[in-house]
Structures are given as structure tokens and as C-alpha cells.
């Protein structure tokens, strides 16, 4: 893509998300979503092959349906409340329709079917934007309307998302699909806490974005899209293999890494609100996620899979890829747990 076009498209994506974040008028929020969706289509089709076009088409159809449902919910809300301002939604039908629309945009179960297919069909950089930046706008709207959302609906979607994210990623060998199912599971965790403590949802989102960005950047550094290609990393760049180990453990939510913070906080908050079954179920299904992260880690860093050459270590050439953000992302994804007591300022 030519640089001027890339700049225009990227700035439209950012502008669309900013409009959603800063608007209090429902129509402007809808316009922001539309701008965001239309601008990301060329990003998804960057590689211009039939699979990328199929993925873009699937993404467009799903997001357009979600936008249509969002507009329906907005109109119903306008009918009953008489105003366009984003605030408490008095009508339960409007609230449900808007929640379903935003769940479809996020990829929450049972509207998650597009996430692995679209993520698998696009390039690593496009997938990275899809699974990180594109979550910000819908979650910000959910944050604002969280007091009006039907808690049973959200908890059901959260439980099914966590289960689907764990079960679906179990026997995947394609890395992008693994990260897509990881995204579904993390969205489930965020949805579960949204009703009780939306601030924790923002914390979970921030840590999730840092971990996912770091993981994608490591895969882009290696140009790895399958587990097999990742398992040859020990031969090419052993440092990257050890970083993948750390990031996978963090994504799995193991202490003493940063990924443990949101899980700990969410389970604590849910138990404070007299919910025992839900956090237990979520903690158990998180083990499924941990299983496939550990399998990936095992293949990459803990064993030396046979590679095409017979050398123990390839010549270490200086890398030409500029990954400026990688070191701070790795640090942020792995070493933030000691800062947990500072979270009391969020109360």
C-alpha cells in the first residue's frame, strides 16, 4: 500500500475509534464504528490474495450486521427515552439489542465464529490490529452503558466465551487461530467483570493488549504462522524463544507475570459479589487456555525440534527488523505484578 493511502487509512481507523471514545451522542458513536470498519477493510486486504479477500468479506458482513443491530437498539432507545445521549438505557429491549450488537463486534460467544476465520485469513500485522485496537471502541461503549446491561445475558456470554476460547484453541496448529481463541477467552473474562467493576475490565483490556501486541510482534519477527515454524526458533534466535516462553506464561495468567493481575482481580471481585460458581468455572476453563499456551511454549522453548539444518546455532546476523516497541511491551507484559497494590487508586 502506498504511504499516503496507508496514512489516510490508519488515521481514519484511529479517528473512528476516537469518535466512539469521546462521543456522547449515539449517532456519532455509530458513525465512529462505521468509519472504523470501513477503514480497516483495506488493512485486512493488504496482502491481496483470495483468502484475505474472503476474510475481509466475512469481517465486513459481521460488522455491518452488528452496526445494523446497534442502530436498531439506538432507535428503540430513542423511542423510549426521547434522547440520543449515551447514558442509562431504560428500555430492556434496547439494552439487550445494543449488548448483542457490541458482543458481535467484540467476538463474544455465541457471535465468535468470525474471529478465528478472519484472523487466520489476514496477515500478522492486520491480525494484530484486529485483535487489539478494534476491541477498544466496543468495550468503551459497554463501559459507559454497563449499569443498564442485563447481567444474566452478559454473564452467560462471558461463560460461553471462556469455554469456547479454551476448547476451540485446544488442537490448533495455526498461531493466528490460537491468538483468536485467546482473544475470545479474554473477552469473556472482561465481560464477566463488566457489570460489577468496569474499571477492572479496562485494566484487563490494557494488559491483554500489551501481551497480545508483544506476542504478535514476536511472531512477526520470526515470520511464524504455524507451531512448526515457531518450533524452529531455537535454531534461529534463541532469545526470541525465551521471550515467547515468558509471554505465553503471562497470557496463561500464571504468577508472577503480569497476566496474573487481571485474573486475580476479577476472581476477587466476583467472589466479593457473592459469585462462587462463575469464578470457579472461569478459573477451570482458563486451564484449557493454559494447556495450549504451554504446548506452544513446550514446542518452542523447552524442546529442540528437528530443523532443516544440522547446526546447533545458526550464525547470528544483526536483525534488520525494527521492533522498537518490543522491549517495553515484553517488560510491561511480564513484570507489572509488583505494582498491583497501586491498583487501589482505581477504587
Partner 1 sequence: MAWVHRFLNGAYIFRHYPKPSASCPFLGTRFAYYCSSSLQKPEVAPGKTSCQRNSEGDLQGHHQKEVVLDITSPEEKPEVSFDKAIKDEIKDHFRRLKDDIVNHWIGPEGRPLHEVLLEQAKVVWQFRGKEDLDKWVVTSDKTIGGRSEVFLKMGKNNQSALLYGTLSSEAPKDGESGRSGYCAMISRIPRGPFERKRSYDWSQFNTLYLRVRGDGRPWMVNIRGDTDLIQRKNQMYSYFMFTRGGPYWQEVKIPFSKFFFSNQGRIRDAQYPLLLDKISSVGFTLADKVDGPFFLEIDFIGVFTDPAHTEEFAYENSPELNPRLFK
- Which among 340, 328, 185, 189 is positioned nearest to 256, based on CA atoms? 340
User: Taking a C-beta distance cutoff of 8 angstroms, is the pair 133, 210 a contact?
Assistant: no
Residue 96 Cα distances to 103, 129, 220, 225, 321, angstroms: 10, 28, 39, 37, 46
Judged by CB under 8 A, the chain residues 208 through 237 that form the site for partner 1 are 225-228, 231
241 in contact with partner 1 (CB under 8 A): no
Asked whether position 306 contacts partner 1 by CB under 8 A, the answer is: yes
Q: Per rule CB under 8 A, is residue 197 in the interface with partner 1?
A: no
d(CA 241, CA 61): 38
φ and ψ of 85, to 5 deg: -75, 140
Cα–Cα distance, 283 to 279 (Å, whole number): 6
Q: Using CA atoms, how far apart are residues 344 and 341, in angstroms rounded to an integer? A: 6
C-beta of 143 vs 167, nearer to partner 1: 167
Identified binder of partner 1 from the candidate list 57, 65, 81, 91, rule CB under 8 A: 57
Site for partner 1 in 171-190 (CB under 8 A): 171-174
Q: Which of 308, 311, 342, 345 binds partner 1 (CB under 8 A)?
A: 308
Q: Which stretch binds partner 1 (CB under 8 A): 43-51, 122-130, 311-319, 329-337?
A: 43-51
The closest of 38, 48, 37 to 1, measured between CA atoms, is: 48
- Residues 77-96, one symbol each (x = binds partner 1 by CB under 8 A, - = not), give --------------------
Under the binding rule (CB under 8 A), the answer on residue 2 touching partner 1 is yes
The whole-angstrom separation of Cα 251 and Cα 208 is 8
Site string for partner 1, 263-302 (x = CB under 8 A): --------------------------------x---x---
117 contacts partner 1 (rule: CB under 8 A): yes
Q: Taking CB under 8 A as the rule, does residue 48 contact partner 1?
A: yes
Collapsed DSSP state (helix, strand, coil) of residue 226: strand
We find the least distance from the C-beta atom of residue 251 to partner 1, in angstroms, to be 18
Cβ nearer to partner 1, comparing 143 with 305: 305
Closer of 143 and 291 to partner 1 (Cβ): 291
Nearer to partner 1, 135 or 295 (CB): 295
Of 50 and 341, nearer to partner 1 (C-beta) is 50
Compute how many other C-beta atoms are within 10 angstroms of the C-beta atom of residue 176: 24
Taking CB under 8 A as the rule, does residue 135 contact partner 1?
A: no
* Nearest-angstrom CA–CA distance, 165 and 178: 9
Cβ burial, residue 125 (10 Å; 0-12/13-18/19+): middle
4 vs 82, beta carbon nearer partner 1:
4
| Partner residues linked to 85 by β-bridges | 25
58 binds partner 1 (CB under 8 A): yes
Cβ within 8 Å of residue 6, ≥6 positions away: none
Of 145-174, binders to partner 1 (CB under 8 A) are 167, 170-174
- Taking each helix axis as running N to C, give the angle between helix 114-121 and helix 175-194, from 0 to 180 degrees, rounded to the nearest 10: 140
Residue 279 beta carbon to partner 1: minimum distance, rounded to whole angstroms: 24
Q: Residues in contact with partner 1, total (CB under 8 A)? A: 26
Dist CA 88 CA 94 (whole Å): 11
- Kindly state the smallest distance separating residue 174's Cβ from partner 1, in Å: 6
Q: Is 4 an interacting residue with respect to partner 1 (CB under 8 A)? A: no
Any contact of residue 64 with partner 1 (CB under 8 A)? no
Alpha helices, DSSP H, located in the chain: 3-22, 26-44, 50-81, 92-106, 114-121, 124-131, 133-144, 151-168, 175-194, 198-222, 227-230, 233-236, 238-251, 260-272, 277-297, 326-334
> Which residue's CB is nearer to partner 1, number 225 or number 250?
225
User: What are the residues binding partner 1 (CB under 8 A)?
Assistant: 2, 48-51, 54, 57-58, 117, 120, 167, 170-174, 225-228, 231, 295, 299, 305-306, 308
Amino acid at each position: 500500500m502506498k504511504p499516503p493511502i496507508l496514512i489516510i487509512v490508519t488515521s481514519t481507523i484511529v479517528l473512528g475509534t476516537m469518535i466512539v471514545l469521546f462521543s456522547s451522542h449515539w449517532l456519532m458513536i455509530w458513525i465512529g464504528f462505521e468509519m472504523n470498519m470501513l477503514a480497516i477493510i483495506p488493512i485486512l486486504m493488504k496482502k491481496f490474495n483470495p483468502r484475505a479477500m474472503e476474510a475481509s468479506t466475512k469481517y465486513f458482513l459481521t460488522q455491518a450486521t452488528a452496526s445494523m443491530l446497534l442502530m436498531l437498539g439506538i432507535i428503540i432507545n430513542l423511542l423510549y427515552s426521547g434522547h440520543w445521549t449515551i447514558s442509562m438505557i431504560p428500555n430492556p429491549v434496547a439494552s439487550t439489542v445494543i449488548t448483542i450488537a457490541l458482543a458481535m463486534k467484540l467476538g463474544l460467544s455465541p457471535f465468535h465464529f468470525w474471529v478465528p476465520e478472519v484472523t487466520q485469513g489476514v496477515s500478522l500485522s492486520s491480525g494484530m490490529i484486529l485483535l487489539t485496537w478494534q476491541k477498544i471502541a466496543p468495550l468503551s461503549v459497554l463501559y459507559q452503558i454497563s449499569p443498564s446491561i442485563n447481567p444474566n445475558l452478559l454473564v452467560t456470554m462471558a461463560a460461553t466465551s471462556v469455554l469456547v476460547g479454551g476448547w476451540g484453541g485446544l488442537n490448533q496448529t495455526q498461531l493466528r487461530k490460537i491468538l483468536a481463541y485467546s482473544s475470545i477467552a479474554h473477552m469473556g473474562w472482561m465481560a464477566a467483570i463488566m457489570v460489577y467493576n468496569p474499571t477492572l475490565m479496562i485494566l484487563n483490556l490494557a494488559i491483554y493488549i500489551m501481551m497480545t501486541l508483544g506476542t504478535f510482534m514476536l511472531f512477526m519477527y520470526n515470520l511464524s504462522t504455524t507451531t512448526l515454524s515457531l518450533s524452529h526458533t531455537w535454531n534461529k534466535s534463541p532469545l526470541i524463544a525465551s521471550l515467547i516462553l515468558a509471554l505465553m506464561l503471562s497470557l496463561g495468567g500464571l504468577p508472577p507475570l503480569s497476566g496474573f493481575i487481571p485474573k486475580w482481580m476479577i476472581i476477587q471481585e466476583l467472589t466479593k459479589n457473592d459469585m462462587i460458581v462463575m469464578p470457579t468455572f472461569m478459573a477451570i476453563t482458563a486451564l484449557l487456555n493454559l494447556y495450549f499456551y504451554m504446548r506452544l511454549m513446550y514446542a518452542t522453548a523447552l524442546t529442540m525440534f528437528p530443523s532443516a539444518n544440522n547446526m546447533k546455532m545458526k550464525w547470528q546476523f544483526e536483525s534488520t527488523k525494527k521492533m522498537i516497541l518490543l522491549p517495553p511491551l515484553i517488560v510491561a507484559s511480564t513484570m507489572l505484578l509488583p505494582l498491583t497494590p497501586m491498583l487501589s487508586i482505581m477504587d
